[in-house]
Structure 1
Amino acid sequence: AKVAPHDYPGLTSARAQVILMTVFGILAVDFATVPRYFAKTEKTGFSPMDLGVGAFVIIVAVSSREAKNILPANRWQNVGKALRGSVALIILGLVRLFMVTVLNYQNPVHEYGVHWNFFFTLACTRVLTSVVYATVPIHLDWVVAVILGCTYEACLVFTPLASFLDSDERSGFLAANKEGLASIVGYVALHLAAVATARMLGYKPRNSARDWVMTGLQAAGMAAASFAATYVMHTAVDPVSRRLANLSYCLWMYSLGTFAVALSVGVSLANAVLLPRSAHVDYNLFAVSHADNSHTDFDILWKSINYNGMAVFLLANILTGLVNIFFHPRTASDIVCFVALVGYIYVLCIFAVFLHRKMVKLKLPFT
């Protein structure tokens, strides 16, 4: 039988860790204590904060119905669901836009544009990928990903598109938001590639450690190949640009995603070997159960963050905005930075665990 995605402890922890690292980063980089090279790059290069949007795209992809190969008879039904589900992201995007325009919250124009932001990008990616799956056989998604990624990269390298995106032209809606709109193509390609990989590596029955060893080796091979491709693209063709989500950036994110899978499988295999005799390993789920049904604190935290991931992320954005509006992070001392970040993460974790314990799941309209 196929395995539901929420049954994978590895996916649960990975999704929660991405959310936790992202919400930590969005506030941390506002403090002078944190070196600026941790912040998002302006045009090209590598930075921890550049991982956020790509990681979210991958996490959404590997959790999708397409990754589980579960599609309705009428595949256009998924487009309707994607449209309804994207309403929440659009609402968050409008809230962010309100904070930028009315409350004068910081907004580097070179990131997404004048009006565009992270939430609008995720919403468009979600809808456009659902349209792809409604019109193209699911087993050809990797072909579409390759065609999209390579065609977009060719346009950046061989046409005036890159010059236009790097210019200061901001007249009209398209020019004002050119970075955010152009990058959608790259994120759609990344999403499709992640779905195809998850379907191949993730959602299939396994009965032994040997099956997982093969999965780990496959993931490691993909990571090595994509790391090599990233290096060649970055040094010889087109530098990595999170701002444009070019092919170099997509390869970088893909390599990190497959490396994370290989690392997770390796750690789980080591854990299975070192388990006490009272524990049992379900190799289909790669889940460990103990005789006393005990769970670690991290298990509880990861499940709690997953249970209300969008609510945690929304609260993090609200708290970050309040800190920037009413305080001055760039002039704060090291001790203030430390106390603020610890308190901020503590509040978010307590919020998530409290809601999970009460079995309260917060949802935005239409989700």
Structure 2
Amino acid sequence: MGLVSARQNIRQRFDSNYSYVKNLITSIKNSIPLLILGAIRLSSVKTFDYQEHITEYGKHWNFFFTLSLLPLIANGFAPIIDLLSPIVTGFLIMLLYEVVLTKLGLLEYILNSQREGLIGMNKEGLFSLAGYLAIYLNGISLGYTILPLFPTRENLLRVSGSKDECLNNRKIHAFSVSPTKGLFILATLFHALYYVLDTCYLYGVSRRMANSLYVIWVCAYNYTFLFGYKLVENLVWGEPRYELTHSETRITVVNDYRDMNCVPVCLRAVNYNGLTIFILANVLTGLVNLTFNTIDTSDTIALIILIAYCAVLSTVAFFLYTRKIHIR
């Protein structure tokens, strides 16, 4: 989510039309549908007595609420994040949250306190926001590294500048890396951090609290797989080539030398309606769990269900994509 959200910021900076207030208002508007989805999920789970583990997010909280608040919080603190860079801010949030967990009693409160009051009943969902925010900011930082068409100055830390700045600095490679190198550096860094912390950590990875080790583990996992995908892309199609120049009329021109068929249509279809397919996948999972006794289901039936599940998702994604139906 952080990686995808970086696109808007990159585009605004490039076109010199970045607006803090506009982005904040947009994030508020975009959070409303997710809040509504969270409320629908909450009411449907309670209505159908659907199985749930209260220790995952709490009594009322669910991941749609988390998804709705992360961009809103990040946009609210955008000036600070831009000043420090997203990845540095993510590390500071992660460390501060860990201090509060281990030194100020929050860990004991989340694990052992009674569920009293609205905060107590939803303590996992509320406090894990800090960890998920760190992951979100790390995703934004990754977006600044791999989404621009060419390496920009300090792209491991901050967003690229305007068109003119990019043109003036395109030959300056101080602290700039290609997407492949950036992914390799970040994957190596987070794997090393995980190895070091895991040997001396007070407790293990906890999705329930989204603690520091969980943040590092998730980021290491995602960076590694994206690095692997990038290696495959380079092996099959080669490194994409772009040029950014001024035309005779002083208009910035981007020359794109990619093979436009390098992305399979199935992936383009899913990306075209990512949130819609995600919601549909959740609904189908719920229907399967309500319809079948999944614990006692045989391997054959389980495989049939999984194949049907994937077929429905793929068919809907492909239908929407070919009809150019983009559900926001």
TM-score (norm: length of structure 2): 0.80
Tell me how many residue pairs correspond in the alignment. 290
**Residue from 194, 198, 203 that aligns with 1:230:** 194
1:244-323 → structure 2 map (5 Å cutoff) = 244-272=209-237, 282-284=240-242, 287-289=258-260, 295=261, 299-323=264-288
1:68-147 → structure 2 map (5 Å cutoff) = 70=13, 72-134=17-79, 136-137=81-82, 140-147=85-92
- Partner SS state of residue 241, structure 1: coil
2:159 corresponding residue in structure 1 = none
1:135, 1:214 → 2: CA distance?
Answer: 26
Specify whether residues 171 and 189 from structure 1 end up closer, same or farther in structure 2 by C-alpha distance, changes over 3 A only: same
Q: Answer whether contact 2:7 2:143 (CA < 8 A) is retained.
A: no
Q: Answer whether contact 2:57 2:208 (CA < 8 A) is retained.
A: yes
2:247 corresponding residue in structure 1 = none
- Partner SS state of residue 8, structure 2: coil
| Larger displacement relative to structure 2 (143-152 or 322-331) | 322-331
Specify whether residues 176 and 67 from structure 1 end up closer, same or farther in structure 2 by C-alpha distance, changes over 3 A only: farther
Partner amino acid, structure 2, of 1:197: L
**Residue from 306, 317, 320 that aligns with 1:352:** 317
* Percent of matched pairs sharing the same residue: 27
2:285, 2:129 → 1: CA distance?
Answer: 25
Q: Gaps spanning 5+ residues in structure 2: where?
A: 152-172, 243-255
1:334 corresponding residue in structure 2 = 299
2:177, 2:20 → 1: CA distance?
Answer: 35
1:142, 1:121 → 2: CA distance?
Answer: 20
Q: Gaps spanning 5+ residues in structure 1: where?
A: 1-56, 274-280, 290-294
- In our comparison, the structure showing a higher alpha carbon Rg is 2
Specify whether residues 286 and 338 from structure 1 end up closer, same or farther in structure 2 by C-alpha distance, changes over 3 A only: farther
Please list the CA deviations of residues 273-303 of structure 1 after superposition, one character each: whole Å capped at 9, or x if unmatched. 6xxxxxxx742368325xxxxx47x711111
1:171, 1:230 → 2: CA distance?
Answer: 35
TM-score (norm: length of structure 1): 0.72
Q: Provide the alpha-carbon RMSD of the alignment.
A: 2.6
Deviation at 1:202, TM superposition (A): 3.4
